[in-house]
Amino acid sequence: QVQLVESGGGLVQPGGSLRLSCAASETIVRIYRMGWYRQVPGKQRELVASHTSSGLTNYADSVKGRFAISRDNAKNTVYLQMNSLKVEDTAVYYCKGERIENGGGLSTYWGQGTQVTVSS
């Protein structure tokens, strides 16, 4: 129903910056909450940042002050600006969308992920 495609990952040195993009196949104005998650092999996927349609944001403690999530409804895109990157930020980053359906249920959509590697 909704396709999410991440881009912008790559290799960066510690202290550097990257901007991840999550492009949706349709308008995101009807999606209640979109977020970024990351996962390292052998560990659980964890929330990095989320953004609701009303503008409410949430960040993991480990990225507060360094990462910023934003939305561009006209482009159907959500961004994650990552500054002051650390080695421990290395992970596959996934875009997630959540929509509350008319019947009250919750639909969740995931992108396929983009690799971020922070290394000297």
C-alpha distances (whole Å) from 88 to each of 12, 59, 62, 119 are 12, 16, 10, 9
* Predicted local confidence at residue 40, as pLDDT: 97
DSSP 8-class letter at 30? T
* Predicted local confidence at residue 15, as pLDDT: 98
Residue pLDDT tens, the chain, 120 long: 789 999 999 999 999 999 999 999 887 777 889 999 999 999 999 999 999 988 899 999 999 999 999 999 899 999 999 999 999 999 999 999 998 888 888 899 999 999 999 999
* Predicted local confidence at residue 57, as pLDDT: 96
Residue 32 falls in which region: left (phi positive, over 0), alpha (psi -120 to 50) or beta: alpha
